[in-house]
């Protein structure tokens, strides 16, 4: 007796959803002990650039403002902006999690992943400024971000699980 296994596969060149991640300014610099990536070392599953304390110190000294660690009010403001951005643009927000130094979202969108990333960061910044929670002229975000394309329902489910349950303990809603 055979077993039938049904695998859902997206046979178009358009992903079903995106896992979008972006970090706050200054919280993961090149040379960091966790390693890092740059435009020359940014291939899927490639190793990070090794730690380099001299490079890390140089990058710390080059910061214009201290690294941004998000407090509860800022996290709530960003979450509001993400929900509103998706609602206005008719994107489906499947999951989001705003942490102290980064943001994860799983979104279905009729746009390229880079445009989704740009819109989420821009509107989160706009909301922080409207709420008087970011008073600097520069962006609160590190350059770029991660845009993983999700091609199957299984990959979407795994991304949602990662965003909602793979980030550690829940953060308090108060400062």
Domains delineated in the chain:
17-25+68-165 (3.30.70.1290)
154 has pLDDT over 60: yes
* pLDDT score of 159: 97
* Gap between the Cα atoms of 46 and 75, Å rounded: 31
Edge to edge, the sheet with strand 17-23 lists 92-98, 102-108, 17-23, 146-150
* Gap between the Cα atoms of 115 and 147, Å rounded: 10
pLDDT tens track for 51-106: 767 766 766 676 677 888 999 999 999 999 999 999 999 999 999 999 999 999 99
pLDDT average, residue stretch 120-124: 98
* pLDDT score of 60: 64
2 against 69, higher pLDDT: 69
């Amino acid at each position: 007796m055979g077993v039938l296994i049904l695998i859902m596969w997206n046979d178009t060149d358009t992903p079903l959803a995106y896992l979008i991640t972006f970090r706050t300014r200054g919280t993961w610099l090149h040379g960091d002990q966790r390693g890092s990536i740059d435009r020359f070392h940014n291939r899927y599953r490639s190793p990070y650039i090794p730690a380099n304390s001299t490079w890390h110190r140089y990058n710390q000294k080059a910061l214009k403002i201290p690294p941004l660690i998000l407090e509860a009010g800022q996290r709530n403001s960003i979450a509001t902006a993400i929900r509103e951005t998706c609602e206005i643009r008719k994107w489906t927000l499947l999951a989001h999690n705003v942490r102290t130094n980064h943001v994860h979202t799983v979104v279905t969108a009729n746009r390229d992943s880079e445009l989704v990333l740009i819109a989420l960061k821009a509107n989160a910044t706009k909301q922080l400024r409207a709420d008087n929670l970011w008073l600097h002229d520069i962006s609160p975000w590190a350059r770029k971000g991660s845009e993983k394309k999700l091609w199957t329902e299984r990959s979407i489910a795994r991304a949602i699980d990662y965003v909602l349950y793979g980030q550690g303990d829940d953060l308090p809603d108060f400062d």
